[in-house]
Structure 1
Amino acid sequence: MKRYTRFLFALGLAAGLSGAVLPGAARAAATIDTQASQAFLVDFDTGAVLLDKNADELMPPSSMSKLMTAYMVFDRIDDGRLSLDDKLTVSEKAWRKGGSKMFVEVGNQVRVEDLLRGVIVQSGNDACIVLAEGLAGSEEAFADLMTEKARELGMAKSTFRNSTGWPDPNHLMTARELAILAKRIILDHPTHYHYYAEKEFTWNDIRQGNRNPLLYRNIGADGLKTGHTEDAGYGLTASAVQNGRRLILVVNGLPSMQARADESDRLLSWGFREFDNYALFKAGDTVDEAPVWLGAEETVPLVIPSDLKVTLPRSDRNGMQVAVVYDSPIPAPVPAGQQIAKLRVTWPDGVPVEVPLQAGTDVEQLGPFGRIAASVKFLLLGAP
């Protein structure tokens, strides 16, 4: 048995193949700098990282942490424990809270949907507290639930101490985990995502515009949330779609609102311009045939279990290679579905993507006389 690598094609020869989702993420080397203290740009479909600057560094997320507040409310609505028409009472604590406000009044009852708009569009600290107290009894208890939910979502570093992003030395997130949260909002709660694209909301006769500057620029932005404190600087968790391709961007530590708007625009535009997604295979496609040792069939089809799409720099598309790697020959018996090979995708200066290939059919082992005949053939002619 020997390690066997068979090159199938370069990208230019695979134009007829199509797919949808990459079952593993590629990392593209960043070729752009940014004045943001932390920055993370990722392709929504493939998980390919286009830009990573201190993306795993803990930082104050300021109002970007309200993404988790809204996610918690969306969860309650979608599992039936809460309705958009339910009303929650405004406490004195919520009414007195400073910073950005929805301007709810103490003692009033406010619909959950209005509170959500107050959180998402107006970045209302008061609306966050009303929701937190209504769902968990206290803001502190709600913050504990936020941290618990973060762990469930794979956000191992994020810790919440309040529902608003109000400065606290232990209220911290990372740019990467904000991007994870943004993706989960879009995937898990698609019927509620539209709130993030609303440009204004009026409550108590006070009209406020969405602080997300990208909503007012023609780049396909449809969310998500800004943040700002003196310690954190100006930040934004954003998502945009162009030609059916979605990117998620997180930046933080920028010096001004204008810098936040311009830098976010520049980085997203760069990601759309310099990179693209290339569909290679659909789930169930036979990628190659591998020889079988002592099997009732001479070969077994190598099948890809999931659709395969890769993100790579447009300048590298002609340098991409796709190869199948396995130990040859495959010893029988071979059960259908067994992982027996890998598909490896490489391109200049990129980290290779590897995905499993499975046996497409069962291949039984030869009977005793068949094995004897195969062994004689091996002695005479060598391995298949």
Structure 2
Amino acid sequence: MYKKISVFFILSLFIISVGSVFGLKAKIGFAEPEINVTSKSAYLMDADSRTVIYKNNEQKRAPIASMCKIMTLLLSFEAMDAGELSIDETLTISENAAGMGGSQIFLETGGEYKVGELIKGITVASANDASVAIAERLAGSESSFVDKMNEKATALGMNDTVFVNCTGLPKAGQYSCAKDVAVMFSELIKHKAYFNYSGIWMDEISHPKGRITQISNTNKLIRFYSGCDAGKTGYTSEAGHCLAASAKRNGMRLISVIISAPDGKTRFKEASSLFNYGFDNFTNKLVVDCEKPLDLTIGVKKGRTDSVKVKTERSVYIFSEKSVKHAVELSFTPTCDAVAPIKEGDILGTLSVYDGGVEIDKVNVIAMESVNEKNFWDGIVDVTQNWSIAQ
């Protein structure tokens, strides 16, 4: 049978489940951040809880230059996860892809390159030619791929974004905003394979005819800011100097977005200032780890085993100012009878997270393993064992 639990523990944290820190400032007394940002738009958020720490013109629509490639990369890694693209697959480069201007890795028309090399070129060198090559592979043409980009943007709630190409090269009607960039970048960094490329400082691309193209990361923070391991720059005269970057310290990952800084140095300086403010003043505590079983036994009826291990469908974090203390309570509630057969991933209940008696989060509790239904012979064994015990 099910067991309802209520676990109480104290954390030196204040709980914010959703929403903007500044939207709650009047209630919890957050100090106004002393950050001097000259860029036209800026945004800082916690990557796990998506709590907003700082925002300035976050929904102002503007061109974002090569930060459009964040979506190109996101769709690429999603295709890999779905088995639709392999990192070791070889692509033949079209004349259209090889002829792209702007930042590039100088792909050869008709040349064969591994997908991994193209992903590296996009991530490290912001390569337009590699971006179009991937787009053509995944959708047949860049225009069809752009349709997929916009579909994904809609699915993510990026209401102030329209893509017109996969590179970010200047074109009328293409725009986004700091908030939307943070949203799509937070989706990209969920893919662990992305970090195999995002932290590369210097490398090279080998071409079929023997040429070597040296590349260096356009995101200078991976070398000069402690904890920064991912990012995407962008620049055109229309967009100005742009940057989306992520840094992690002491288990807390932040995302910083800068749009239309006056120069390249300023975008890195202001992103660093945002990171410093976040790391100096806030913390993000992992309360429930979805990779580990809950300390909870759920009995199974008619199963070949009497119980099933469970975990939460996603991890639960507590984001807060460092200085505040609050109490947190967890409570499990079953949503159905645990009757075999049970499949791994089946929802068996919910885990509610409370602060001061107020529910601030709820997450599904799922089976970590499958439990088969007892068959005829299992019944015979049970009867035999019970008879032996009775003797």
User: Contact 2:100/2:128 (CA < 8 Å) preserved in 1?
Assistant: yes
1:191 matched to 2:199: no
User: Contact 1:24/1:353 (CA < 8 Å) preserved in 2?
Assistant: no
Q: Aligned pair in 2 of structure 1 residues 102, 17: CA closer, same or farther (>3 Å)?
A: closer
Q: Deviations over 1:52-100 (max 9, x none)?
A: 1111222211101101111111122221122222222222222222110
Q: How does 1:207-218 map to 2 (within 5 A)?
A: 207-218=214-225
Structure 2 CA distance for aligned equivalents of residues 124 and 309 of structure 1: 36
Secondary structure in 2 matching 1:25: coil
Equivalent of 2:273 in 259, 266, 271:
266
Q: Which residue of 2 aligns with 1:27?
A: 20
Structure 2 CA distance for aligned equivalents of residues 156 and 186 of structure 1: 21
Q: Aligned pair in 2 of structure 1 residues 345, 99: CA closer, same or farther (>3 Å)?
A: farther
Equivalent of 1:85 in 67, 88, 101:
88
Q: Aligned pair in 2 of structure 1 residues 136, 308: CA closer, same or farther (>3 Å)?
A: closer
Determine which structure has more spread, i.e. the larger CA radius of gyration: 1
Q: Which residue of 2 aligns with 1:66?
A: 69
**Displacement of 1:200 after TM fit?**
2.0
Amino acid at match of 1:190: K
Equivalent of 1:275 in 282, 291, 302:
282
Equivalent of 1:14 in 10, 13, 37:
10
Q: Aligned pair in 2 of structure 1 residues 68, 308: CA closer, same or farther (>3 Å)?
A: closer
Equivalent of 1:230 in 237, 255, 259:
237
Secondary structure in 2 matching 1:192: helix
Structure 2 CA distance for aligned equivalents of residues 308 and 131 of structure 1: 35
User: Contact 1:44/1:183 (CA < 8 Å) preserved in 2?
Assistant: yes
**Number of residues paired by the alignment?**
310
Instruction: For structure 2, list consecutive stretches of 5 or more residues without a partner in the other structure.
Output: 1-7, 23-31, 206-210, 297-311, 338-347, 365-391
Q: Deviations over 1:131-157 (max 9, x none)?
A: 112222211111111111222233233
**Displacement of 1:111 after TM fit?**
1.4
Q: Which residue of 1 aligns with 2:58?
A: 55
User: Contact 1:136/1:142 (CA < 8 Å) preserved in 2?
Assistant: yes
User: Contact 1:132/1:142 (CA < 8 Å) preserved in 2?
Assistant: yes
Q: How does 1:276-291 map to 2 (within 5 A)?
A: 276-278=283-285
Q: Which residue of 2 aligns with 1:251?
A: 258
Amino acid at match of 1:202: E
Amino acid at match of 2:10: A
* Runs (4+) off by over 4 Å: 278-286, 304-308, 320-324, 334-339
Q: Aligned pair in 2 of structure 1 residues 111, 338: CA closer, same or farther (>3 Å)?
A: closer
Secondary structure in 2 matching 1:72: helix
Q: Deviations over 1:106-148 (max 9, x none)?
A: 2212211111111111111111111112222211111111111
Amino acid at match of 1:91: S
Equivalent of 1:136 in 135, 139, 149:
139
Structure 2 CA distance for aligned equivalents of residues 165 and 51 of structure 1: 25
**Displacement of 1:307 after TM fit?**
6.7
**Displacement of 1:45 after TM fit?**
2.1
Per the normalisation by structure 1, the TM-score is: 0.71
Q: Aligned pair in 2 of structure 1 residues 93, 312: CA closer, same or farther (>3 Å)?
A: same
Structure 1 CA distance for aligned equivalents of residues 79 and 274 of structure 2: 34
**Displacement of 1:338 after TM fit?**
10
Structure 1 CA distance for aligned equivalents of residues 148 and 289 of structure 2: 39
Structure 1 CA distance for aligned equivalents of residues 362 and 98 of structure 2: 55
Q: Which moved more, 1:151-160 or 1:131-140?
A: 151-160
Amino acid at match of 1:185: L
Structure 2 CA distance for aligned equivalents of residues 241 and 32 of structure 1: 21
Q: Which residue of 2 aligns with 1:202?
A: 204
- What root-mean-square deviation, in Å, do the aligned CA atoms of Structure 1 and Structure 2 show? 3.5
Secondary structure in 1 matching 2:20: coil
Q: Which residue of 2 aligns with 1:37?
A: 40
Q: Aligned pair in 2 of structure 1 residues 281, 103: CA closer, same or farther (>3 Å)?
A: closer
Q: Which residue of 1 aligns with 2:4?
A: none
Structure 2 CA distance for aligned equivalents of residues 212 and 132 of structure 1: 23
Q: Aligned pair in 2 of structure 1 residues 60, 208: CA closer, same or farther (>3 Å)?
A: same
Structure 1 CA distance for aligned equivalents of residues 153 and 271 of structure 2: 25
Q: Which moved more, 1:306-315 or 1:150-159?
A: 306-315
Equivalent of 1:149 in 152, 156, 178:
152
Q: Aligned pair in 2 of structure 1 residues 253, 308: CA closer, same or farther (>3 Å)?
A: same
Q: Aligned pair in 2 of structure 1 residues 345, 174: CA closer, same or farther (>3 Å)?
A: farther
Q: Aligned pair in 2 of structure 1 residues 152, 280: CA closer, same or farther (>3 Å)?
A: closer
Q: Aligned pair in 2 of structure 1 residues 308, 23: CA closer, same or farther (>3 Å)?
A: farther
Q: Which moved more, 1:152-161 or 1:232-241?
A: 152-161
Amino acid at match of 1:31: P
Structure 1 CA distance for aligned equivalents of residues 318 and 34 of structure 2: 20
Q: Aligned pair in 2 of structure 1 residues 220, 171: CA closer, same or farther (>3 Å)?
A: same
Instruction: For structure 1, list consecutive stretches of 5 or more residues without a partner in the other structure.
Output: 1-8, 287-303, 325-333, 347-351, 359-384
1:118 matched to 2:114: no
Q: Deviations over 1:225-282 (max 9, x none)?
A: 1111111111111011111111111111101111112111111111101212356789
Structure 1 CA distance for aligned equivalents of residues 353 and 252 of structure 2: 27
Q: Which residue of 1 aligns with 2:343?
A: none
1:46 matched to 2:60: no
User: Contact 2:67/2:234 (CA < 8 Å) preserved in 1?
Assistant: yes
Q: Which residue of 2 aligns with 1:5?
A: none
